[in-house]
Amino acid sequence: MKNFLYITDQDEYTDHSFIGAFFEKYLGKHLNVNILYFSQFKTDFEKKDNQRFILPLKLKDNLLEELEKNQIDVNSYDFIVIRNDIELLKDILKTKIRYKYKVGFRLSFPKRIAKLKENEANNNSTFFDMIGDKIQSYKETTLINECDIFLPSTNQMKDEFFPSISIKTYPIPTGIDPEVLHENIQHVEDFKRFIYAGTLDNLRKFETILEAFSQINNNLFRIMISTKDPEYAKKMLEKYPNLKNCIELYNTKNKEELLELIAKADIGLSILPNIAIFNTSTSIKIIDYYSSAVPCIMTNNAKNNTLFEDNVEAWFCDFDKDSIKSKIEELLALSKEEVAKVGVNGQKKLLDIRNYEKIAQDFATELNLL
C-alpha cells in the first residue's frame, strides 16, 4: 500500500472524531496512514503509535526536518495532505520536488472567512479587513493551485470561497461512522427534549431560536444545550427568564459524552442563518444528531435539501422567529413514534450516502489515480 501523511492544524487533545474515523480507521484500510498533531506542551517529538505523531508546536516551522531527525522517512510518503493551514502548505510545497510526494490541501471549514463574518456580526469589521480578505484569498488560491488535489468539504464550499481553484477537486464531506451509532433513548416524560450542540456566537444567532421558544405558550419542551462556552450561554439565557426552567446546560468533554447526551434527546436543533458560510457544508451537529437517530430541524437551504427529504428524514425551517415557532409547535403535536421514525429514516439516509467507510474507499481510489 502507498504511504499517506495527514498534517492537521489541531493539537493532540482536540476532539479528533472525524480524523480518527475517516483517516485512521477507514482510509487506513487502503493506505498506510500517519497523522501528525501538534502540542503546545510537549518539548520533544512523540510517536504515539503506528499511526499518530505528536510534534511540539514550536518545531512546526521545520516540520519535515524534525520528522527525519526522529527516523520518519519523509521520502517514503506518496501523499502529504495539509488541513487548513496555508502557511504550513507553503512549506510543504517548497520540498515537493525534492521528496516527490503529491500534495493535497484539505479545507474542512473556511475559518478565516468565518472569523471575518463574525467580526462583521459584532460590528468589528473595517474596510481594510475586507481588502485584506481579498488579498489573502488570492494568496491562498495561488498556493492551493500548486497542489495536486484540493479537498474541500463540499463543491459548494469551493465554488463560494475559492472559485478560481483550477486543480483537481475532490470533496470530502462530513459523514457518519457506521461503527459508532447510539440507540436513541426514549424517555417517559410527556415533554419533548430538543438539543443544541455546538458553538454559540453572534454569527449563529441562537437568540432567534430562543425567542421562538419563549413565545410558545406551554411547557411541553425542554432545551438541552451543550457548548464549550457555558458562561456565554448563561449570559444569553438571562434575556429569557420564562425559559429558565426549560433549559439544561452541558459542557461535554469529548465526542463520546456528547453522543451519549444527544441519545437522550428527541429532536436536534441545527437552524442557522441562511448565509454562505453555513450553507456550503453540512453542519457536524447534524451528523452527531443522526448518529443517535435523533431527527433534526435544520435550515431550509439547497445543501440540506440534497441530503434529506422534508418531513420524512428531517424538518426544514427558515431562519426567522415566526417560522421557527411555527415549526416547533408542529413538532410538539407529533407523537414520540412519529418523531423517532424521522430519526431512523435520516440515519439510514446518511449511512447510504455519507458513510465514512465508503467515502474513504472512494477517496483512496482517487488518490491512486493522481
Copy the grid coordinates of residue 21: 474515523
Mean pLDDT by 10 residues, the chain (370 residues): 93 66 92 94 88 92 93 96 95 94 93 72 72 86 97 93 96 92 80 93 92 92 92 92 93 87 95 90 91 95 94 97 97 94 96 95 95
Same domain, 362 and 342: no
Q: Is residue 112 part of a domain?
A: yes
Q: Is residue 182 part of a domain?
A: no
Q: Is residue 224 part of a domain?
A: yes
Nearest to 268, CA basis, from 347, 195, 342: 195
Q: Is residue 30 part of a domain?
A: yes
Q: Helices then strands (H, E): number in the chain?
A: 16, 13
Q: Is residue 185 part of a domain?
A: no
Nearest to 259, CA basis, from 188, 201, 185, 328: 185
Q: Is residue 187 part of a domain?
A: no
- Which phi and psi angles does 201 have, rounded to 5°? -160, 180
CATH number of 238's domain: 3.40.50.2000
Same domain, 227 and 87: no
Q: What is the SS3 assignment for 112?
A: helix
Q: What pLDDT was estimated at residue 170? A: 97
Same domain, 112 and 196: no
Same domain, 273 and 363: no
Q: What pLDDT was estimated at residue 13? A: 63
Same domain, 289 and 270: yes
Same domain, 342 and 290: yes
Q: Report d(CA 346, CA 50) in Å as an integer.
A: 36
CA 80-55-227 angle, to 5 degrees, is 90
Same domain, 147 and 239: no
Nearest to 285, CA basis, from 82, 12, 17, 20: 17
Q: What pLDDT was estimated at residue 17? A: 60
Cβ atoms of 17 and 25 closer than 8 Å: no
Specify the number of domains making up the chain. 2
Q: What pLDDT was estimated at residue 126? A: 74
Q: What pLDDT was estimated at residue 130? A: 76
Q: What pLDDT was estimated at residue 305? A: 93
Name the strand (E) or helix (H) holding 192: strand 192-197
Q: What pLDDT was estimated at residue 30? A: 97
Same domain, 85 and 143: yes
pTM of the model: 0.90
Same domain, 162 and 29: yes
Same domain, 63 and 105: yes
Same domain, 200 and 170: no
Nearest to 351, CA basis, from 286, 261, 291: 291
Q: Is residue 186 part of a domain?
A: no
Residue 254, domain extent: 192-353
Q: What pLDDT was estimated at residue 298? A: 97
Same domain, 152 and 214: no
Q: Is residue 181 part of a domain?
A: no
